[in-house]
Structure 1
């Protein structure tokens, strides 16, 4: 359901403003948003993304279901040729339900996490698809996040990330015991969400939960 925009001049969207008002922090959060939310990538963000071996992506499929997924590659598979564009050299994966929301013009959310330094930066924007092997994201918002709750890890590939492995797609309306155990043992989650804004279209986000 579209959410009515409460303050067109605010850096926050309507849903965020409602939460802030409910929490009694509306006035405090306005200057924070104006300071950290940008319509472009800072140089330090442009230098950050190409160092990563993976990026987490949030999309929404045709039925309105949000999906969080990962695209990986050797450092350098992400490039920021200018402050308004993040290029992702990763082939389409037809087995991934999130792929349904990565077509040209689709809204998308991304979070990059360096598991060694615990740095993370996020953005949302719009897919610019030139081929099935790569796509770009036109920046809508770009911002940094604190390292809180990020689990420190060493990262290495167990196979060539450029080699796609097909997997069986299992659709179910419930979790089995193995899946429940996997979730209960996890110390990190990535959550995709979205909001439909009156007159502004859809904004997709993906966030880290540790």
Structure 2
């Protein structure tokens, strides 16, 4: 698979163009046997989608093993149990491009599937594959699913805001994991994972946060999308209580940050300007127990 010009521009700027080309051989346009074996065992995924105003969102999807299943090498089907109130389904009616990150927190494995979605009855999503590839296990904190049930979450509450509240700021300042969604109108949507030690995300004010970019796989799909379209989405998950915090806004890569030394291990920074906040309390009754930090966290 070839990279789009936004990805190529970032790879060239960082000086990893040849390595990225070598790694591109692992990006397939079909579900290979390794991915086909991995998917039916998973229970957690993150989806990237675009709303009618062009804003990008990251959504949490959960289900019992098999909620993501392979129909054939070009099609996967997603049938999540919850969250049931997420805006993903309405977004896909507007724009069929979707990025799906299926992640195993216990074993530090993650697979990205990007393509076009068709929403069927009862919230079932059929995904026509355009890209499939595994990512390395870097910066994934181990977590173990403690409760798993198909029952709908009780007393789910949706809060829409234009800025972060004090409780949101406390949540983000303690986070060790988040997920980021990006979108290139020419190549589609993508969802990715970011992790570090607690406090690796810093708040500038109620509408801006900043986070470090550590050494990764050098393909720069997310940053390449930022070059073409800064609209992006961030998802924080309260793994202990089942709440979600979805932010949509614009991302800007800071290549020569004066305060880079304040972020241990950072190679560059990303500023995220928040346009809207969507908090879902009790989005899921599931909870995860923290295991251990990634050994490569700075």
Secondary structure, aligned partner of 2:123: coil
CA apart distance, 1:91: 6.2
Of residues 171-180 and 87-96 in structure 1, the stretch that sits farther from structure 2 once superposed is 87-96
Which structure's residues are more often strand, by fraction? Answer: 2
**Aligned equivalents of 2:55, 2:61: Cα separation in 1:** 19
**Aligned equivalents of 2:123, 2:193: Cα separation in 1:** 26
Describe how 1:99-178 pairs up with structure 2 within 5 A: 99-103=89-93, 106-157=96-147, 160-163=149-152, 165=154, 167-178=156-167
Cα pair 2:51 2:95 within 8 Å, conserved: no
Describe how 1:1-210 pairs up with structure 2 within 5 A: 11-33=2-24, 35-90=25-80, 95-103=85-93, 106-157=96-147, 160-163=149-152, 165=154, 167-197=156-186, 202-210=187-195
Aligned to 2:294: none
**Aligned equivalents of 2:92, 2:151: Cα separation in 1:** 18
Of residues 114-123 and 168-177 in structure 1, the stretch that sits farther from structure 2 once superposed is 168-177
**Aligned equivalents of 2:152, 2:126: Cα separation in 1:** 20
Cα pair 1:73 1:162 within 8 Å, conserved: no
**Aligned equivalents of 1:77, 1:104: Cα separation in 2:** 24
Secondary structure, aligned partner of 1:99: helix
Distance 1:101 1:57, change over 3 A: same
Distance 1:92 1:180, change over 3 A: closer
TM-score by length of 1: 0.85
**Aligned equivalents of 1:73, 1:148: Cα separation in 2:** 24
CA apart distance, 1:53: 1.3
Aligned to 2:215: none
Secondary structure, aligned partner of 1:132: helix
**Aligned equivalents of 1:76, 1:70: Cα separation in 2:** 16
Secondary structure, aligned partner of 2:185: strand
TM-score by length of 2: 0.61
Residue correspondences, number: 195
Distance 1:166 1:57, change over 3 A: farther
RMSD (CA atoms): 2.1
